Amino acid sequence: MNWLKNLVGRIYALYVLIIFIIFMLIFLLPMWLVSFYSLRIRLRKFVKLGRLWCRLMMPLIGCPVRTIGRENFGPGQAYIIVCNHNSFIDIPATYAGIPGTHKSLAKKEMVKTPIFGIMYKIGSVLVDRKDPASRKQSFVEMKEVLKNGIHMLLYPEGTRNKTGQPLKEFYDGAFSLAIDTQQPILPTVIWGTRKILPNDKPFFAWPHAVKMEFLPPVSTIGYDIEDVEELKAKVFKIMWDRYQEEEKS
């Protein structure tokens, strides 16, 4: 019966793609219009539109998002949200689930994507990872985001986790940023998105609920740049243990 599941999965993937394109075309005009506002108002309105888009789309494609731990967001506090990364579906799932205004870090080449590139310009800090000057500038921009009371969403694994392990090794960036700004880290674990878009099957998707849990924040007060490895290991263990605990339940 594998052939039947593969056929249904490809038909469903086509359905998801069509729904995504329809929503993108619907939201393109209002998102373009908000680009004329001042920076802070522009981002706040953009995130509200993006959240509405994802909260409508995800249940429609059979992938509702359930969030736990919103109480861990303190009022008026900006966080560096670090989340595991299993699938492209992580992006709409986090937009649907993260409260408040936030930006993410995205590859600069995504701006070249037709239509969707406009949205990346507004909602992301862009970086060319191969260019040291671009990496340095993105760090400055992320600090400015946090200074303005806006959350910064980062995937510390860097790219999608295609291994069989709960997490890949973390990069230093998120933790260097947290120490430099002395802003708290909010570890976040997401489940289910790998089952929606399996890494080993091209153009295949399967409906599945998504669960996202915001864990208690980790303070960075008192850490200095020499403590990056210690902080990174601490957050990694928190997320790894929670992932394993959920998988066993």
Give me the pLDDT at residue 237, please: 97
Considering only CA atoms, which of 87, 86, 81, 84 is closest in space to residue 104? Answer: 81
Domain harbouring 177, CATH code: 3.40.1130
pLDDT band at 82, cuts 50/70/90? very high
How far apart are alpha carbons 240 and 104 in whole angstroms?
22
Q: Tell me the pairing of strands 80-83 and 124-127.
A: unpaired
- Look up the pTM and report it: 0.92
Give pLDDT, residue 248.
Answer: 76
State pLDDT tens for residues 173-214. Answer: 999 999 999 999 999 999 999 999 998 888 999 999 999 999
Q: What range defines the domain where residue 73 resides?
A: 2-248
Task: Say if CB 228 and CB 179 are below 8 A apart.
Answer: yes
Quote the number of domains for the chain: 1
Average pLDDT, the chain: 91
Residues 6+ apart with CB under 8 A from 156: 82, 170, 171, 173, 174, 175, 232, 235
